[in-house]
Amino acid sequence: MNSIQTPIQGFVIRYAEKSDAKLILEFITRLAIYEHMENQVTATEDKLIQSLFDDKRAEVIIGEENGVPVCFALFYHNYSTFLGKANLFLEDLYVNEDKRGLGYGKMMLSCLANIAVERNCSRLDWWCLDWNQPSIEFYKSLGANHLKEWNIFRAQHEGLASLAKHIKK
C-alpha cells in the first residue's frame, strides 16, 4: 500500500491493513494506559479484524518513523444533519511517549484533514479528556475550536440495555 509522504524526514503515514490488528491493539492499550482506562479495554485482535477490516466500521492510519510504527489514528464517518453531509470523527490518536514533540501528531491530524477534504467533508471532530491539558493546548495551537457548549452523553452497559427495553419487538 502506498505511503503518504510528510515533510518530516523519515516519517510516513499509511493505511492499516488486516495484518496490523495486533499493532492497533497495542496502540489502543497504550492509549488506555495513558488515559488511566486500561481496565475498560475489551478489544481483541479478532474484534478489530471483524469491525475494522471485514465490516469496515472505521479506518486506521499508522505513522511510521523509518519503517517503525510510532503512532496511530482511528477514525470513521459521522453525519451532520445541519450540513446534510458526512464528516470525519477521530476516535483515537496516540503517539508513543518517546516520539511526542516531533510533529508526528500534527502530521497525523493533517493527514486526517486531507482525507476529510478529499471526501468532501466539512469537519473533523474529536473528543479530548478535560484533564488532558497538553493535548488541549496542542489542539488549540493547530486552530481547533474547543466546543465548551456541548456535553457528551453516553448510554452503555446496563443503561443501554435498559434504554433499549422501551421499544418492544
- Residues 12/6, Cβ–Cβ less than 8 Å: yes
Number of other CB atoms surrounding residue 15 within 10 Å:
14
Domain ranges of the chain: 4-164
Per-chain mean pLDDT for the chain: 95
Please name the residue that has the C-alpha cell 515533510. 7
Alpha-carbon distance 138 to 22, whole Å? 28
- Residues 61/108, Cβ–Cβ less than 8 Å: yes
- Residues 88/116, Cβ–Cβ less than 8 Å: yes
Closest CA to 6 of 45, 63, 90, 53: 63
Reported as a pLDDT band with limits 50, 70 and 90, residue 152 is: confident
Per-residue pLDDT at 151: 85
Q: Looking at the predicted structure, is the pLDDT value of residue 169 above 60?
A: yes
pLDDT in tens, 36-94: 999 999 999 999 999 999 999 999 999 999 999 999 999 999 999 999 999 999 999 99
Reported as a pLDDT band with limits 50, 70 and 90, residue 2 is: confident
Q: What percent of the chain is predicted at pLDDT more than 70?
A: 98
For 150, the grid coordinates are 456541548
Q: Looking at the predicted structure, is the pLDDT value of residue 1 above 70?
A: no
- Among candidate residues 34, 76, 79, 139, the one labeled active-site is 139
User: Catalytic site residue 104?
Assistant: no
Question: Which CATH homologous superfamily contains domain 4-164?
Answer: Gcn5-related N-acetyltransferase (GNAT) (3.40.630.30)
**Range 148-158 average pLDDT:** 90
Which of 10-14, 44-48, 148-152 is least confident?
148-152
